[in-house]
Amino acid sequence: MQEYLEEHVNLKVWDKTVPITREQLFKELEDVEGFITSGVKVNEELLRQAPKLRVVSTISVGYNHFDLEAMNTYGVIGTHTPYVLDDTVADLVISLMLSAARRIPELDAMTKRGDWKKGNAEQSFGVDVHHQKLGIIGMGRIGEKIAQRALFGFDMEVSYFNRNRKYEVEKKLNIKALPMDDLLKESDFIVLLVPLTSETKQLIGEREFILMKKSAIFINASRGQTVDEQALINALKTNEILAAGLDVYEQEPIDPNNPLLKMENVVTLPHIGSATLKTRNAMAMVAAKNIVAALLGEGSFYQVK
């Protein structure tokens, strides 16, 4: 990535081991036209400090850290990195489903501390993934990859809810669209994959958890704020649902005192959906190409809207 950028633009890089402070970042941005980041809030406050800025390229598919209205006002283009991470994130979602259903982290810890349960000890039983019903909320590219894995790898019955029907995907994969409430009521596994917007903020809350089966396993690999986290904690505590697999949280990094971290029926990951070396390198390369194309006006780039 760095080599490619150096071939095309004058580059400065924050390569210190400590994260850059907001003040230092503002200072560095005073004279730049392009900015590559992943997760730094790009809002009016930042844009005011960067009078020459024309393009911000995020090394992520999600871009909820962009204030698009402010960027528009300041004439700054935003770009992101779709496609290259779809399979990797789908793999992670399936692993969260399997881990939560078969209680992998809990049983791993139990085995390692020498607490082996003999014979058919029911304390170690999990639930099946294969042949169960999977409901996907948010049928984008990653949703489709998850559906493929669930259908062809695990013989699951897959349904989805999406703001707009995806007729092509329905036909290709033979999956059905359901109204959200029906999906919540019928699914054994519910995977949330919507981008974070004002419409999807706290999309899943107390009402939605009550609608789910008591045996439901809830997976969130989108953004933490798409869920009312307190409602999730309550639903898990009161056995309103069986378990959860989480890659994202309302606050990141998660507060070490968050009750989710103490629950055995919750599998927690540190927002690593796309984190394999190969995929992260591919995302960095797409981000680099995006910024070069947008700055130099050559070729296409993945602009966010």
The nearer residue to ligand DGY, 102 or 141, going by C-beta atoms, is 141
The nearer residue to ligand DGY, 60 or 79, going by C-beta atoms, is 60
Question: C-alpha angle with apex 255: 99 to 249, nearest 5 degrees?
Answer: 50
Catalytic residue among 149, 223, 240, 250: 223
State the nearest-atom distance from the C-beta of 279 to ligand DGY, in Å.
9
State the nearest-atom distance from the C-beta of 35 to ligand DGY, in Å.
17
Return d(Cα 79, Cα 284) in angstroms, integer.
12
The nearer residue to ligand DGY, 85 or 183, going by C-beta atoms, is 85
State the nearest-atom distance from the C-beta of 62 to ligand DGY, in Å.
3
Tokens of 49: 């400090």
Catalytic status, residue 103? no
User: 11 exposed, middle or buried (CB, 10 Å; 0-12, 13-18, 19+)?
Assistant: middle
The nearer residue to ligand DGY, 62 or 135, going by C-beta atoms, is 62
- Positive or negative, the CA dihedral 226, 260, 148, 284 is positive
The nearer residue to ligand DGY, 51 or 270, going by C-beta atoms, is 270
Return d(Cα 38, Cα 23) in angstroms, integer.
17
Binding site for ligand DGY (CB under 6 A): 60-62, 85, 271, 273-274
Tokens of 104: 């992998």
The nearer residue to ligand DGY, 132 or 226, going by C-beta atoms, is 226
Per residue, the 3-state secondary structure of 155-211, as one string, reads CCEEEEECCCCCHHHHHHHCCEECCHHHHHHHCCEEEECCCCCCCCCCCECHHHHHH
Catalytic residue among 6, 30, 252, 298: 252
Backbone angles phi, psi at 296, to 5 degrees: -90, -5
State the nearest-atom distance from the C-beta of 275 to ligand DGY, in Å.
6
From start to end of the chain, where are the E strands? 34-37, 55-58, 77-79, 133-137, 157-161, 176-177, 189-192, 217-220, 243-246, 266-268
Tokens of 190: 């519910």
Catalytic status, residue 80? no
State the nearest-atom distance from the C-beta of 79 to ligand DGY, in Å.
13
State the nearest-atom distance from the C-beta of 178 to ligand DGY, in Å.
25
SS3 of residue 253 by DSSP: coil
Catalytic residue among 8, 54, 141, 271: 271
Catalytic status, residue 271? yes
User: 182 exposed, middle or buried (CB, 10 Å; 0-12, 13-18, 19+)?
Assistant: middle
List active site positions.
223, 252, 271
